[in-house]
Amino acid sequence: MKIAIFGGSFDPVHAEHINMVKAAIDSLGVNKTIIVPAFVAPHKQGRAHADPQDRLNMVRLAFEGIRNCEVSAFELNAGGTSYTYITLGYFRKKYPDAQLFFLVGADMLKDFYTWKEPETILSLCDLVVCNREGEKVNFALEQLKFFSTFHKKFKVIEYTGRDISSTKARVLCAFGEDLRPYLPDCVIEYIEANQLYRIDGVKGALKYLKPARAKHTLRVALTAAPFSAKYKLAENDVIRAAAFHDVAKNMDLNDSELSGFVPPEDVPSQVLHQYTGAYVAEHTFGVSQEDVLDAIRYHTSGRPNMSDLEKLIFLSDMLEPGRDFPGIKKLRKLFDTDLNDCMRLALKLTIKHLKRSKGKIYPLTFAAYEYYKELTDRRKT
Ligand code: FE
Ligand code: FE
């Protein structure tokens, strides 16, 4: 008997998870696939968004009609951090004669080396890497590295799927976007009925935006949210800051939302909305986290010594996929590797652009550039 085991946070389960399993069933000829939602995935300490029971319920709904699939609550019942080698040990005992496969997405391959007891995992099962068509992973190279470390090869399955991740699904959900291309209907209904992945104020903020600005705002959130874990930020704060960053873009100082607002001195018109935006987020929507308010407050000008959230929103605003300007490719690369290097170049390009277009340059932007120039220079020496 051949059994495939598929673990993950499933926060929420989405169409790509299902496509992966279907591809594995077809190409490996497995008799059974066991889906195992993690209580706390090791690489996502404390970062689950929906309750374990809700995640389990969604996985059950999603895989109900798919042949030879069953859902195991083993890791949820065990509680604590869910380690794959323990889970596989359990299923090895339960099915001593079966050939076990463990399914992972191609993005997991580079992390596998840091998992707990990878050799034990490979003694219990064959690792199967599911790669979505069109994604660029150099499997020949990965296979060499893998073999030289573990003296065993992994298998690769190609499958077709939409561009979706659970993070993207959560952002789309918070923004009230159509989830049908990405999640099964039964999961969407469950999310709606149980009001999962909602973030206070996000939909309200969107009502203040013209359609093109709302789309830009969504793209900023989609650009920023995947970095939440890397910078140890609460994903909801990242999404909230993105949702509000341009909330006052189309407001007038006479609008009732801005009564009591005192503009800082000599703010150029294109920078003003960062201050009015923070004001509206705080006073109209009750956003109270200082870090979120500061990310809104400095998203256009920047400032010296920004927090990671401030940098993330500043740069996501500048680099979201709807943007295009000379130098953006290099900036996007730096964005993935180092926020301070990226800030330095982003501010340099901003100042250059403003000088060329004879726009007024806000002193805070100069100060921010000097700060990041000095910081990154100092680091190099
Ligand atoms: Fe803005
Ligand atoms: Fe913006």
Distance 220 CA to ligand 2 centre (A): 7
Output the six-digit token pair for 11. Answer: 């926060």
Please name which ligand lies nearest the alpha carbon of 317. Answer: 2
**Strand spans (E) along 76-154:** 99-105, 126-132
Please name which ligand lies nearest the alpha carbon of 320. Answer: 2
Give the tens place of pLDDT for each residue, 244-270.
Answer: 999 999 999 999 999 999 999 999 999
**pTM, whole model, 2 decimals?**
0.92
Q: What is the largest CA-CA distance in the chain?
A: 76
Q: Distance (Å, rounded) from C-alpha 331 to C-alpha 11? A: 30
Percent of the chain with pLDDT over 70: 98
Q: Distance (Å, rounded) from C-alpha 327 to C-alpha 350? A: 11
Instruction: Name which of 79-83, 114-118, 276-280, 298-302 the model is least confident about.
Output: 79-83
Is the pLDDT reported for residue 340 higher than 60? yes
Read off the pLDDT of each residue in 312-334 and give the average, rounded to a whole number: 97
Q: Distance (Å, rounded) from C-alpha 58 to C-alpha 120? A: 30
Read off the pLDDT of each residue in 222-238 and give the average, rounded to a whole number: 95
All residues with CB under 5 Å from ion ligand 1:
246
Is the pLDDT reported for residue 48 higher than 80? no
CA angle 97, 107, 36 (to 5 degrees): 40
Distance 180 CA to ligand 2 centre (A): 27
Q: Distance (Å, rounded) from C-alpha 213 to C-alpha 211? A: 5
Please name which ligand lies nearest the alpha carbon of 217. Answer: 2
| pLDDT value at residue 359 | 80
Q: Is 280 left (phi over 0), alpha (psi -120 to 50) or beta?
A: alpha
Read off the pLDDT of each residue in 343-369 and give the average, rounded to a whole number: 94
Read off the pLDDT of each residue in 161-188 and give the average, rounded to a whole number: 94
Output the six-digit token pair for 99. Answer: 């050939």
Give the tens place of pLDDT for each residue, 77-111.
Answer: 988 888 999 999 999 999 999 999 999 988 888 88
Counting DSSP H helices and E strands in the chain, the numbers are: 17, 6
Output the six-digit token pair for 88. Answer: 């596989």
Distance 91 CA to ligand 1 centre (A): 52
Distance 191 CA to ligand 2 centre (A): 29
**Strand spans (E) along the chain:** 2-8, 32-37, 69-71, 99-105, 126-132, 155-159
| pLDDT value at residue 41 | 67
| pLDDT value at residue 109 | 86
Please name which ligand lies nearest the alpha carbon of 216. Answer: 2
Is the pLDDT reported for residue 179 higher than 70? yes
Q: Distance (Å, rounded) from C-alpha 77 to C-alpha 353? A: 57
pLDDT band at 134 (very low <50, low <70, confident <90, very high): confident
Distance 346 CA to ligand 2 centre (A): 14
Read off the pLDDT of each residue in 201-214 and give the average, rounded to a whole number: 94
Please name which ligand lies nearest the alpha carbon of 220. Answer: 2
Adjacency order of strands within the sheet including 69-71: 69-71, 32-37, 2-8, 99-105, 126-132, 155-159
Give the tens place of pLDDT for each residue, 292-306.
Answer: 999 999 999 999 999
pLDDT band at 4 (very low <50, low <70, confident <90, very high): very high
Type of residue at 57:
N
Output the six-digit token pair for 10. Answer: 């499933």
Is the pLDDT reported for residue 194 higher than 90? yes
Please name which ligand lies nearest the alpha carbon of 270. Answer: 1
| pLDDT value at residue 198 | 94
Q: Distance (Å, rounded) from C-alpha 132 to C-alpha 164? A: 11
Please name which ligand lies nearest the alpha carbon of 242. Answer: 2
Is the pLDDT reported for residue 44 higher than 70? no
Distance 375 CA to ligand 2 centre (A): 26
Q: Which residue has the tokens 């002193």?
A: 363
| pLDDT value at residue 304 | 98
Residues paired with residue 130 on neighbouring β-strands, in sequence order: 105, 157
